[in-house]
A and B are shown apart, each in its own frame.
Chain A
């Protein structure tokens, strides 16, 4: 683990053409890191996220993505992700390949990746048309009972990027609250970059069972206070629901979207 600036962490560990998982299930979404990918003009990325959320709407609209692997592509409680829709419906700013799953399958696929398994098995995908459109959803027979089970390939990203509450000086990272698939995405990936609210002398994990990722499972830690905004960091900030609503109007139109990216991302300083 190295303690780096966000700019250096992204420059060193996220490359054009990579398969990237920037996770955080509504909570702890690594927005600042996403913006840094846009600033560094990453291209041809395969983006993996259960819920693309505004972070991937921004990366897709900014032209960073070649493919999206996902399971629910809306603006939670608000409606559409307009940049994702524009890419799928009209090929703007470029065509995007999609690989669509259910949450249950993607969560299991991360867990399988973390466990070093080639596939994830689940009781799932019963009677859904997703099966006809995604060749990565298949079925196998349980050799013991003969039961038919759904199988999807394990997720093995080149790099996982997450946000967390804090790290200590050895890069051990504490995650609290809705922990989502933070641990699984890091342990399934070849490399891991973590942004944190702060680095502290003592991690002060509140319980022996706290979710802690040892520093030796992580490649780079960058201190980015507020790095999950407009998502949130339990114990540090609240979800900016007003921004999630405002994004609907900002993102609906290509020009207002591009202006927002110029004003808030491209013209901004790298942390």
Chain B
């Protein structure tokens, strides 16, 4: 089905990377859309965990915040926030941590803290929240972000959440046994870390050229010799996603 937007392609591609047996720690926004799309399509038994303490939640509309009542109402159980971070995340119960990013670099390090210097920032972003420990304790991390030279930069201004570190060896240096960034999903392509942990484009979304990806990336991006072509969203995927967004718009009083 060719009648889709780049944003829809991004969310659909992210949803496809999730499996029925995953236990997914979900961030708000595109990660939440992708996780719930997976749940209502090919992964009905996926366990979705939000940092507000809701475990096994099955929202019918996408939450605006990580603590909307819908998440608690439809959860298997709701635990306190200290328990969520101590037992469930730090305790190693999460298979996929799903994060967004304001800036990301070639080693999958994420900035959501400041643009400019920390003491006198040009733009003060919301900060890390759960992300620093989601990045270190989830077995794998998926990152979803729009692909532009503002987002995909040579040097991020601040490492909020560790990918592979500024030199690619940060996880080893910190003694982390978890995998770290395993997949970066953008509106143009999919990227995965190569043997030296640098991100490589492994799949191009429909209609996207390698030149376009290069122009939208702030570093000399690696592209594997024969990148795959991301399958176009199916009618079922698009219908389910649009249904989720429409239900969400109605629930949140319009103009989502």
Spell out A's residues near B (CB within 8 Å): 25-27, 50-51, 70-74, 76-78, 80-81, 84-85, 88-89, 100, 102-104, 107-108, 110-111, 122-130, 133, 148, 177-181, 183-184, 232, 234, 238-239, 241-242, 244-245
Contact = CB atoms under 8 A, between A and B. Distances in A.
A71 B28 CA distance: 16
A89 B253 contact: no
B63 interface: yes
Contacts of A107: 81-82, 84-86
Secondary structure of the B side of the interface? loop
B121 A104 contact: no
A26 B66 contact: yes
B231 interface: no
A104 B255 contact: no
26 contacts: A25-B52, A50-B81, A71-B128, A73-B126, A76-B67, A84-B124, A103-B51, A103-B128, A104-B133, A111-B82, A122-B85, A122-B86, A126-B171, A128-B132, A128-B162, A133-B119, A178-B52, A179-B80, A180-B53, A183-B80, A184-B82, A232-B69, A239-B69, A241-B64, A241-B252, A242-B254
Interface string B172-209: 01111000000000000000000000000000000000
A27 B175 CA distance: 36
A25 B81 contact: yes
Given A25-B67, A26-B67, A181-B82, A102 B131 contact: yes
A50 B65 CA distance: 14
Contact of B159 (A84, A124, A127): A127
Interface in B50-108: 51-54, 63-69, 71-72, 78-82, 84-86, 89-90
A121 to B, nearest CB: 10
Interface string B127-139: 1111111011100
Interface of B: 28-29, 51-54, 63-69, 71-72, 78-82, 84-86, 89-90, 109, 113, 118-133, 135-137, 158-162, 165, 170-171, 173-176, 251-255
A100 B112 CA distance: 13
Nearest to A231: B67
Contacts of B119: 133
Given A102-B129, A104-B85, A238-B69, A127 B162 contact: yes
Given A71-B127, A73-B126, A103-B85, 7 more contacts: A27-B69, A77-B28, A104-B132, A110-B82, A126-B132, A179-B81, A245-B64
Nearest to B175: A148
Contacts of A84: 124
A87 B253 CA distance: 30
Nearest to A147: B175
Contacts of B131: 102
